[in-house]
Amino acid sequence: MTRVAVVGGGIIGLSIAAELLDRGADVTVYDPSPDGADGAWHVAAGMLAPGGESAFEYPHLTRLLEAGHELWPSFVAGLGDVGYDRAGTLSLALTADDVAEAAREWKHQKLTPLTGSQVRDLEPAISPRVRAGAFAAAEHQVDPRKIVAVLRERLTGRIIPRLITDISERDADDVVVIAAGYRTGALTGLPIRPVKGQVLRLRGEPGLLKHVIDGAADGRHVYLVPRADGEVVVGATQEERADRMPTAGGVHDLLRAALDLVPGLAEHELTEVTAGHRPGTPDNAPILGFLDDDRRVAVAAGHFRNGILLAPITARLIADLVLTGTADPILDAFAPGRFR
Amino acid sequence: MTRVAVVGGGIIGLSIAAELLDRGADVTVYDPSPDGADGAWHVAAGMLAPGGESAFEYPHLTRLLEAGHELWPSFVAGLGDVGYDRAGTLSLALTADDVAEAAREWKHQKLTPLTGSQVRDLEPAISPRVRAGAFAAAEHQVDPRKIVAVLRERLTGRIIPRLITDISERDADDVVVIAAGYRTGALTGLPIRPVKGQVLRLRGEPGLLKHVIDGAADGRHVYLVPRADGEVVVGATQEERADRMPTAGGVHDLLRAALDLVPGLAEHELTEVTAGHRPGTPDNAPILGFLDDDRRVAVAAGHFRNGILLAPITARLIADLVLTGTADPILDAFAPGRFR
């Protein structure tokens, strides 16, 4: 039986570990946080948007996002209720400048522009000031906290609350998978950096919003992810900073953009103010594969804004790699060696 | 020895109890919250502003506020470090409309208007957009949480964590003092209602602000109370609501006004988002004195926006009343009987 150590108990590490366990490996996850809640997943809203902006610059990433997106129905089928919701995403633009900017993305994604009133027909809570929008039927949502809870349950007894600071600590294992988010940089020397994101959680009567909202309001980008229970996740700032502090400016900008687009959110309770770190890479694409100089060590990190969307495909590809020793060709563009 | 029950362990109840204890009474405080932290004091910024707007309509209140203000130096002398700071308050007006509104209050308080650049000479962090201001040297600040901690320490063993729902429960005591904030309404039938206030706490490098800021920004009123340790208290909304939820709209309005006046606060950490209830009365003045139909029951509640400022004078006047049975003439205008 292959013995695998997974370093990192976030959504990537847990998805890989659960897949390996299903396929008969003897897997152990190492994560210093007792509930893994310092991971990016804990802050993440869980938008599943394969056509997102990050793929503009890296066509290989578009293919991976699309392939990853297709795995979601079967992935969640095995998990129970994890808030998987396919109502789709409304992209909004408040001002004329916002429309000019958004139109470029809508064109890239082959979405049909909608007028303000067409948008409000779909989602009556949208502000009358919103000028235009587009409907992205393929952009879904899921609740990352629910997924992690299910995966942790499945891996009961296999998650060790320990900080691994040197990969050689796990020399006794057949393979070590490094899925430690931005901390993978310090463990491997790979160029992965923390990109801070501040995220709010609001709560009110369910039903104000039916769709995910992904909008621009006076140049401020914001997304609103409404859960079935009345929670609305509002994100996210994008800052090249390593601290975890929510700031007055960050929270203000998110609330202002959210209220500009959906004024009815003003009466919602503000229940959580958090900040986390996306694992950023130089090309915004993840790093997936064996280290060139040590084929006993696989990396699965640097997913930047796409960690939730890519968790199922990462789990499948890395489990294949670990158990067969052979990389799927789709991984070629994401090999750690591309940064040497 | 006079046996006194004080119902309510907020800053009013504790100040009265400590004064009674000093003067030889056998005092017990009843408060259901283990640390008293559901009191208005826990949210309050601690501005000591005797010339505030609430006194416009009730000249008796102006006299009480001024008399109360004079007690502060001797009150804090007995308490140790409770953040008592006499640097004074800068009143600010952002837009032309804000100036028109503020000028009325500055005139009422006999303050000399300052230009925007005069304001920035006093406090360089003020936004260049601020048009005018005035300096109120007599408006000081204190940290209510520090005061309550000292008073609770002094009353160790005399604070019982119990909710009193009927005054007759304390029939065994010689006198019962009701100092239960807005909950005094339900206990006595007096017209005291909760007026919700949302308050934020920010934290950054100490020294950004030297003075308390009390400003209007595009019609939004905000105050900023900078503590010596780098905390800045940002308050407060004023809402006729009984819930304790911080809302997206309330937090947004506070942050927007704060950042409009002092842009450098954007990088401060947002450390606390709270809501509390001022005890409001029909004339915005407190209710102080024996109930007409039961001179064994004294009320000390309904301090609205002036609970911190009036704590020392309330303690002195109510202790006199309880121990001598005679009311100081200054109390005449605040008797419970005025609302029958």
Q: Which of A201, A222, A234, A245 to mutate to test the interface with B (most CBs of B within 10 A)?
A: A245
Q: Please check the confidence at residue B221 and state whether its pLDDT lies above 70.
A: yes
The half-sphere exposure of B59 on its side-chain side, counting CA atoms within 13 A, is 0
Amino acid at B32: P
Q: How much is the pLDDT for A143? A: 98
Nearest CA in chain A to B273: A270
Q: Please check the confidence at residue A17 and state whether its pLDDT lies above 70.
A: yes
Measured between CA atoms, how close is B254 to chain A, in angstroms?
Answer: 9
The rounded percent of chain A whose pLDDT value lies above 70 is: 98
- Residues B178-203 pLDDT 10s: 999 999 999 999 999 999 999 999 99
Amino acid at B320: D
| Mean pLDDT value across residues B239-250 | 96
Give burial (CB, 10 Å; 0-12/13-18/19+) of B138. Answer: middle
Q: How much is the pLDDT for A55? A: 56
Strand A159-160 with A3-7, pairing: unpaired
Query: A-chain residues within 8 Å CB-CB of B258?
Result: 248
Q: How many CB atoms lie within 10 A of CB B327?
A: 18
- Residues B69-92 pLDDT 10s: 999 999 999 899 999 999 999 999
Q: Please check the confidence at residue B287 and state whether its pLDDT lies above 60.
A: yes
Tracing tokens 């897949």 back to the chain, one arrives at: A19
Q: Do A259 and B265 touch (CB under 8 A)?
A: no
Burial A231-253 (b: 16+ CB within 10 A, else e): bbbbbbbebeeeeebbbbbbbbb
Q: Are B211 and B35 in contact (CB under 8 A)?
A: no
The dihedral sign for the CA sequence A41, A45, A48, A51: negative
Helix B11-22 vs helix B311-324: crossing angle, to nearest 10 = 50
Give burial (CB, 10 Å; 0-12/13-18/19+) of A128. Answer: exposed
Cβ contacts below 8 Å, chain A against chain B, sum to 71
Q: Which two tokens stand for residue B317?
A: 């006047």
Q: Are B309 and B50 in contact (CB under 8 A)?
A: yes
**In whole angstroms, how far apart are CA A310 and each of A53, A71, A73, A193, B9?**
15, 9, 13, 18, 53
Residue B58: band (very low, low, confident or very high) from pLDDT cuts 50, 70, 90: confident
The rounded percent of chain A whose pLDDT value lies above 90 is: 89
Architecture of domain A3-80+142-192+281-339: 3-Layer(bba) Sandwich (3.50)
Q: Please check the confidence at residue B285 and state whether its pLDDT lies above 90.
A: yes
Query: B-chain residues within 8 Å CB-CB of A259?
Result: 248-249, 252
In CATH, what number does B89-136+194-280 get? 3.30.9.10
Residue A340: band (very low, low, confident or very high) from pLDDT cuts 50, 70, 90: confident
Q: Are B239 and B196 in contact (CB under 8 A)?
A: yes
The dihedral sign for the CA sequence A61, A67, A73, A76: negative
A218 in contact with B at a CB cutoff of 8 Å?
Answer: no
**Nearest of B10, B65, B18, B108 to residue B318 by alpha carbon:** B18
Q: How much is the pLDDT for A38? A: 85
Contacts of B339 (CB under 8 A, 6+ apart): B190, B191, B281, B282, B287
Q: Do B268 and A255 touch (CB under 8 A)?
A: no
Q: How much is the pLDDT for A99? A: 97
Measured between CA atoms, how close is A37 to chain B, in angstroms?
Answer: 19
Q: Which two tokens stand for residue A144?
A: 């990352």
Question: Distance (Å, rounded) from C-alpha A300 to C-alpha A311?
Answer: 10
Q: Which two tokens stand for residue A237?
A: 């700032």
Which of A209-213, A311-315, B51-55 is predicted least confidently?
A: B51-55
Question: Distance (Å, rounded) from C-alpha A170 to C-alpha A168?
Answer: 5
Q: Which two tokens stand for residue A309?
A: 């969307």
Q: Please check the confidence at residue B226 and state whether its pLDDT lies above 60.
A: yes
Mean pLDDT rounded to a whole number for chain B: 94
Q: Please check the confidence at residue A250 and state whether its pLDDT lies above 70.
A: yes
If phi > 0 it is left, if psi is from -120 to 50 it is alpha, else beta; for residue B36 that is left
Tracing tokens 């502090």 back to the chain, one arrives at: A245
Instruction: Give percent helix, percent strand, percent coil of chain A, each to the nearest 5.
Output: 40, 25, 35
Q: Name the residue among B246, B248, B265 with its Cβ closest to that of A265.
A: B248
Contacts of B288 (CB under 8 A, 6+ apart): B299, B300, B314, B317, B318, B331, B334, B335
Nearest CA in chain B to A254: B252
> Residues, chain B, total?
340
Q: How much is the pLDDT for A133? A: 98
| Mean pLDDT value across residues B270-282 | 96
Helix (H) or strand (E) holding A217: strand A212-217
Q: Please check the confidence at residue A52 and state whether its pLDDT lies above 80.
A: no
Q: Please check the confidence at residue B136 and state whether its pLDDT lies above 70.
A: yes
Q: How much is the pLDDT for B276? A: 95
Q: Where are the domains of chain A?
A: 3-80+142-192+281-339, 89-136+194-280
Q: Are A27 and A6 in contact (CB under 8 A)?
A: yes
Query: B-chain residues within 8 Å CB-CB of A202?
Result: 248
Residue B51: band (very low, low, confident or very high) from pLDDT cuts 50, 70, 90: confident
Give burial (CB, 10 Å; 0-12/13-18/19+) of A165. Answer: exposed
Tracing tokens 């400003």 back to the chain, one arrives at: B215
| Mean pLDDT value across residues A182-192 | 95
- Residues A106-162 pLDDT 10s: 998 899 999 999 999 999 999 999 999 999 999 999 999 999 999 999 999 999 999
Q: Which of B255, B260, B262, B267 to mutate to test the interface with A (most CBs of A within 10 A)?
A: B255
Q: How much is the pLDDT for A114? A: 97
Q: Please check the confidence at residue B340 and state whether its pLDDT lies above 80.
A: no
Q: How much is the pLDDT for A35? A: 79
pTM of the model: 0.93
- A313 three-state secondary structure: helix
Q: Please check the confidence at residue A271 and state whether its pLDDT lies above 80.
A: yes
Measured between CA atoms, how close is A239 to chain B, in angstroms?
Answer: 12
Q: Please check the confidence at residue A34 and state whether its pLDDT lies above 80.
A: no
The half-sphere exposure of A9 on its side-chain side, counting CA atoms within 13 A, is 29
A268 in contact with B at a CB cutoff of 8 Å?
Answer: yes
Which of A56-65, A70-79, A279-288 is predicted least confidently?
A: A56-65
Q: What is the ipTM of this complex?
A: 0.91
Residue A269: band (very low, low, confident or very high) from pLDDT cuts 50, 70, 90: very high
Q: Please check the confidence at residue A57 and state whether its pLDDT lies above 80.
A: no
Query: A-chain residues within 8 Å CB-CB of B273?
Result: 270, 273
Residue A293: band (very low, low, confident or very high) from pLDDT cuts 50, 70, 90: confident
A338 in contact with B at a CB cutoff of 8 Å?
Answer: no
Q: How much is the pLDDT for B59? A: 85
Q: Please check the confidence at residue B135 and state whether its pLDDT lies above 60.
A: yes
- Residues B166-181 pLDDT 10s: 888 877 889 999 999 9
